Structure 1
Amino acid sequence: MKKTILSAAAILAVGVTSASAADLAAKVYTKAPPVAAFDPWDIAFGAGVMSDYVFRGITQSNHNPSVTAYFEPRYNVTKDLQLYVGTSFESISFPNRAAAEVDIYGGIRPTFGAFAFDFGVWGYLYPGGKCAEGVLTGGVAGGGVCPVGFDTNYISNGNVLKKDVSFFEGYAKVNWTVNDMFTIGANEYYTPSYLNSGAWGNYASVTAKVVAPSTFFGASGVGSYVSGEFGRQWLGTSDSFYGTTIASPTGGGPFPAGIKYKDYNTWNIGVGFTYKVFTLDLRYSDTDLSKADCNAFTSDYTASPSGDFSPINPSGVGSKWCGATFIAKLSADVTLQSNLK
């Protein structure tokens, strides 16, 4: 899902020089030069294409290419305080055949010296969804999200997914710019119902980024960086829509009232290259979720019987959506004041 967007307001500087009376030119100006007015408004926008859309270690595009775009108006109250709203789009491949991921978000970004904060709310919308595998969900509480006449042949592995999986998160972030090269950060997200599953979700992560000196590639104008993230996703218990009446061969269950999703760790590391408004990011991502627990969490429509069992996954169906993957992303990011004026 989506990737994090941080910025700072433009800083206007006026140079001041001094000279002795003997150095003054014959024509002396006593009136100060005009000072450019501070324009508080700015707009950031951009687009990208990636080989795989991975959100917190889990593919959202079935390990296929995805396109993305965003638009973010900003208002700089002062040079250290910014308000913003935005929307973004990502192409996805979900079991319920949702048309796309459409994000709507907004918040405030205060800056205190080397520390840049970001507080806001992010809504994840998945329009166009249909009920997956209604044969199984029709009699289960919560099955009202499944319309009559849906296609029951879309999923044949027993996995189920609601028609509407939209949800929202509140978040808080901070980045500390240690120096011109090194930045570290921390992120916190919380939702009362992750993917509208009824299970609360809490995600926390730490990040680091090292930017190479501007002379690393000579005078070519190419920049580069190395960055990484380590995060942990905690998850609660789903509602009865995702419950199971079958006990697992590994012990555990049945859980007709809902399943306690497996908490997991995720990490990524990569290198990026920048040129003007373009960025090429090459990244490795992974999690410690088993194929069985991944299947229970994602309802992967490509999962197949593989003997992967867990207490919350008695079917023996395993998913590869949570494993190691490589992501290449080419993007362009523009701000009105910095790039177009």
Structure 2
Amino acid sequence: MKKAILSAAAILAVGVSSASAADLAAKVYTKAPPVVAFDPWDVAFGAAIMSDYVFRGITQSNHKPSVTAYFEPRYNVTKDLQLYVGSSFESISFPNRAAAEVDIYGGIRPTFGAFAFDFGVWGYLYPGGTCQYGNGAVTDSAGNLLSAECQANGLLNGNVLKKDVSFYEGYAKVAYTVNDMFTIGANEYYTPSYLNSGAWGNYASVTGKFTAPSTGFGPSGVGMYVSGEFGRQWLGTSDSFYGTAAASPTGGGPFPNGIKYKDYNTWNIGVGFTYKVFTLDLRYSDTDLSKADCNAFTSDFTATASNSFSPINPTGVGSKWCGATFIAKLSADVTLQSNLK
């Protein structure tokens, strides 16, 4: 879930121009220069507003505006090794009416020359949700007894969603700085239960970023970049809560013990403009999920009957949450040592 938080690859991709040593007047000291103590502590924080909160190609805000904020203390063991923890908040619009997305994460960022790595664990918490099963159902499709809350609530289009869809992922990232203008990267995330569905999830992607030379674009102080990502999300089989009791008209099913979610590709490309601590990012995002498989995966509460059938979506209800979308995002990002000292 973009999540709306700043990746290490994006931070390291921004080039910084410097004057040649030959152009600077040499300092003459009458005594030894003062020793500046190394402060290992730093803090990064920021906030953003975006026209759509899209995570791995799928809207988390029902294609409506969303706000986000984060806070990340850091400890630099050396100039090439950083430890960090953090928390972020995103406004969302989920079928179970969860109040928000609250992320808690932590990890380690070692650097070896032009290679910057990032290893950690990310927890996605969705407090305040209510179970959605509906129509007075007493058991799920596999015959398991549902809670009274699940029996009392339901979505009109027949989709279902658990009260708690919180989950965690382990991740590994690497960014390679080719030069001051080009950075490429790769990312890997794994969870044993994506959105607490019982289905494992594995996401891998490659990224690229071009940062325009600081003297080659716009007025002084304005920067520009172009970046993109191509990823693939693999998914396992859900538990019986999301199983189907009926066969699909297109063949397949029923799957009372759970459905095998459709694997999918996602991609995005965009251009960004930076000024001091501010960034305006304009981005196009899309996936190759059909409306039927998107509905089975998201339990979209806005999905409508549209003859969208697949083996795991026998109701014909289709979702637009996984289609092409445009995202405008305005953010401000600050680090204590770089911006406030």
User: What TM-score do the two structures reach when normalised by structure 2?
Assistant: 0.91
Q: CA deviation at 1:134?
A: 3.2
Residue identity opposite 1:105 in structure 2: Y
The aligned residue for residue 316 of structure 2 is 316
Which residue of 2, 7, 19 maps to 1:5? 7
Residue identity opposite 1:211 in structure 2: T
The aligned residue for residue 134 of structure 1 is 134
The aligned residue for residue 246 of structure 2 is 246
- Does the 8 Å contact 1:243/1:259 carry over to 2? yes
Q: Per the alignment, in what secondary structure is the counterpart of residue 149 of structure 2?
A: coil
- Does the 8 Å contact 1:134/1:146 carry over to 2? no
**Change beyond 3 A, Cα 1:147–1:179:** farther
- Does the 8 Å contact 2:136/2:152 carry over to 1? no
Residue identity opposite 2:209 in structure 1: K
The aligned residue for residue 153 of structure 2 is 152
**Change beyond 3 A, Cα 1:90–1:269:** same
Which ranges in structure 2 are unaligned for 5 or more consecutive residues?
13-19
Deviation per residue, 1:239-298 (Å, 9 max, x gap): 000001100000000000000000000000000000000000000000000000000000
Q: How far apart, in 2, do the equivalents of 1:46 and 1:285 lie?
A: 23
**Change beyond 3 A, Cα 1:174–1:247:** same
**Change beyond 3 A, Cα 1:218–1:92:** closer
- Does the 8 Å contact 1:183/1:210 carry over to 2? yes
- Does the 8 Å contact 1:58/1:323 carry over to 2? yes
The aligned residue for residue 21 of structure 1 is none
Q: How far apart, in 1, do the equivalents of 2:76 and 2:143 lie?
A: 44
The aligned residue for residue 11 of structure 1 is none
Aligned length: 326
Deviation per residue, 1:66-97 (Å, 9 max, x gap): 00000000000000000000000000000000
Q: CA deviation at 1:149?
A: 8.1
Q: Does 1:112 align with 2:112?
A: yes
- Does the 8 Å contact 2:138/2:146 carry over to 1? no
Q: Does 1:97 align with 2:97?
A: yes
* 1:168-247 matches, cutoff 5 A: 168-247=168-247
* 1:256-275 matches, cutoff 5 A: 256-275=256-275
- Does the 8 Å contact 1:136/1:160 carry over to 2? no
Q: Per the alignment, in what secondary structure is the counterpart of residue 98 of structure 1?
A: coil
- Does the 8 Å contact 2:115/2:177 carry over to 1? yes
Q: Per the alignment, in what secondary structure is the counterpart of residue 98 of structure 2?
A: coil
- Does the 8 Å contact 1:130/1:150 carry over to 2? no
User: What TM-score do the two structures reach when normalised by structure 1?
Assistant: 0.91
Q: CA deviation at 1:309?
A: 0.2
Residue identity opposite 2:153 in structure 1: T
Q: Cα RMSD between the aligned structures?
A: 2.2
The aligned residue for residue 59 of structure 2 is 59
Residue identity opposite 1:152 in structure 2: N
**Change beyond 3 A, Cα 1:243–1:218:** closer
**Change beyond 3 A, Cα 1:218–1:320:** closer
**Change beyond 3 A, Cα 1:117–1:305:** same
Q: CA deviation at 1:34?
A: 1.0
Deviation per residue, 1:91-144 (Å, 9 max, x gap): 000000000000000000000000000000000000000011333654126977
- Does the 8 Å contact 2:247/2:253 carry over to 1? yes
- Does the 8 Å contact 2:207/2:228 carry over to 1? yes
The aligned residue for residue 20 of structure 1 is none
Q: How far apart, in 2, do the equivalents of 1:160 and 1:323 lie?
A: 21
- Does the 8 Å contact 2:67/2:90 carry over to 1? yes
**Change beyond 3 A, Cα 1:43–1:289:** same
Q: Per the alignment, in what secondary structure is the counterpart of residue 77 of structure 2?
A: strand
Q: How far apart, in 2, do the equivalents of 1:142 and 1:193 lie?
A: 22
Q: Per the alignment, in what secondary structure is the counterpart of residue 337 of structure 2?
A: helix
The aligned residue for residue 332 of structure 2 is 332
- Does the 8 Å contact 1:136/1:158 carry over to 2? no
Identity %: 82
Deviation per residue, 1:152-175 (Å, 9 max, x gap): 35x100000000000000000000
